[in-house]
Amino acid sequence: MTKPKNAQVIAPEAYPQLMSRADAARAMLTLHSPQTTARADAVMQAAVRPLRAAILHYVDEMEAAGADMGLVFEKVHEIRGFAETAGLVTTGRVAEILARYMDDMARIAKPLDTAIVALHVSAIARAARAEGEDEKMGEAVAAELATLVARRLGDAEGR
């Protein structure tokens, strides 16, 4: 086998770079400096409260979406994107399981099991609204839901 026909490799030196080498050296120091880490930590910490409020809003919308699975997926996707940043680890885990299930079923063009979706929606809502989340309970529920989804997905794929 030889290189694909017409393939042209353009080296980094041959196209405009993001910054000069001197700036790149300074930039790397900036990215790894303790001051940057401290500022970034403060940003992430400041995001927790507004993101928790946003997640609760998405949870309300997810529940109100009812049988509109497209809208449920949209809200679940937002929740999984933010939950961990907001310190809602269990909420994020359950949302991740549901989002993957919905995505996988769409990929193999199989209908969603609405009971599975409803179970997850309920678990996400309970976890998000529980101040501080009950971690042990949350982990157990997330693990059970993951097993259930894996089994149903296996059935749908004919495994």
Of these, 77, 110, 148, 150, which contacts other proteins (CB under 8 A)?
77
**Using rule CB under 8 A, residue 108 touches other proteins:** no
CA–CA distances in Å: residue 125 to residues 5, 17, 22, 37? 54, 46, 50, 33
Decide: is 45 part of the binding site for other proteins (CB under 8 A): no
- The first and second tokens of residue 29, run together, are 């120091």
Instruction: Answer whether 53's CB lies under 8 Å from 32's CB.
Output: no
Contact status: 36 vs other proteins (CB under 8 A): yes
CB of 12 to other proteins, least distance (A): 4
Range 113-143 burial, b when 16+ CB lie within 10 A, else e: beebbebbbebbbbbbeeeebeeeebeebbe
Nearer Cβ to other proteins (58/116): 58
Give min distance, CB of 122 to other proteins, in A: 21
Q: How far is the CB of 47 from other proteins (least distance, A)?
A: 5
Output the CA–CA distances (angstroms, integers) from residue 10 to 2, 90, 106, in the order listed: 18, 45, 38
Q: Judged by CB under 8 A, which of 41, 134, 135, 155 binds other proteins?
A: 41
**Contact residues for other proteins (CB under 8 A)?**
1-12, 15-19, 22-32, 36-37, 39-41, 43-44, 46-47, 50-51, 54, 77-78, 80-85, 92, 99-100, 103-104, 107
